[in-house]
Amino acid sequence: MMNRRHFLLGSFACLAACHGNRTSLRHSVTIARAASYSADLVDLIRRILVEHRVAVKGQRILLKPNLVEFSSSAPINTHPVLVASVVEAFISLGAAQVCIGEGPGHRRMTLDMAEAAGFFQSIPGFEKRFTDLNIDAVVLTRLPRPFSSLSGLYLPQTVFDCDLVVSLPKMKTHHWTGATLSMKNLFGIVPGAVYGWPKNILHWAGIDECIADLHFLFPRQFSIVDGIEGMEGNGPILGTPKWAGVVVAGSHPPSVDATCCEIMQIDPRKIKYLKLISRRDPAWNIGASRQIGESIESVGTRFALHPDLEALRLVV
Amino acid sequence: MSSLEGENRERCIDAVRHLDRRGFPARALREAPAQTQNDATVGESRTAEVDRLQRTLIQAQNINGGWGYNGNSWWTEPTALAILALHASGCKGTPYDRGCGWLAAAQRKDGGWSPHLTVHESTWVTSLAFLALAGSSVRFNEKAAIEWLKRSVNQTLPAFEQFIFRALQLNSPKMAGSAPWFPGTAGWVIPTSLTLLSLSRAARAANDPELVNTMTASRSYLLARRCVDGGWNHGGSSYRSENARSYPESTGLALLALGGVSTTQLTPALQLAESFLGCAESAEGLAWLQMGLTKQGRAPTLDSGQFPCRTIRETSLRLLALTADSPRNCLMAA
Determine whether domain B3-333 maps to CATH 1.50.10.20. Answer: yes
Mutate to test the interface with A, among B31, B120, B185 (most CBs of A within 10 A): B185
Is the per-residue pLDDT at A133 higher than 50? yes
Look at residue A21 and tell me whether its pLDDT is greater than 80: no
Summarize pLDDT for A237-292 with one digit per residue, the tens: 889 999 999 999 999 999 999 999 999 999 999 999 999 999 999 889 998 889 99
Residue A282: predicted pLDDT:
87
Nearest residue to B49 via CA among B315, B326, B331, B324: B315
Contact check, Cβ <8 Å, B307/A234? no
Q: Which residues of B touch chain A, with CB atoms under 8 Å apart?
A: 22, 25-27, 69-70, 73, 75, 77, 115-116, 118-120, 123-124, 180-182, 184-186, 188, 190-191, 233-234, 236, 240-241, 243-244, 247, 249, 281-285, 307, 310-311, 314
| pLDDT of A3 over the 70 cut | no
Contact by Cβ (8 Å): A168, A66: yes
Query: Model confidence over B46-84: pLDDT tens digits?
Result: 899 999 999 999 999 999 999 999 867 899 999 999 999
- At A245 the pLDDT is 98
B179, closest residue in chain A (CA to CA): A196
Report cis status (omega within 30 of 0) of the bond before A236: yes
Contacts of B180 in chain A (CB under 8 A): 196, 200
Quick: pLDDT tens for A149-207: 999 999 999 999 999 999 999 999 999 999 999 999 999 999 999 999 999 999 999 99
**Residue B305: which pLDDT band, with cuts at 50, 70 and 90?**
low
Contact assignment for B115 to A193 by CB distance below 8 Å: yes
The three-state secondary structure class of B25 is: coil
List the single residue in B with minimal CA-CA distance to A137. Answer: B73
Interface membership of A176 toward B (CB under 8 Å): yes
Q: What is the pLDDT of residue B168?
A: 65
Contact yes or no for A137 and B115 at CB 8 A: no
- Residues contacting residue A143 through CB under 8 Å, at least 6 positions apart: A150, A151, A152, A153, A213, A216, A217
Per-residue pLDDT at B24: 33
Amino acid at A249: A
Q: Where are the domains of chain A?
A: 4-312
CA distance B111 to chain A (A): 18
Mean per-residue pLDDT for B94-116?
97
Per-residue confidence (pLDDT) for residue A129, from 0 to 100: 97
Mean predicted confidence (pLDDT) in B13-30:
32
Provide the 10 A C-beta neighbour count for residue B135: 20
Is A47:A309 a contact under the CB 8 Å cutoff?
no
Predicted TM-score (pTM) of this structure:
0.89
Q: Do B75 and A193 touch (CB under 8 A)?
A: yes
What confidence score (pLDDT) does residue B244 get? 83
Across the interface, whether the CB atoms of A203 and B185 are under 8 A apart is answered yes
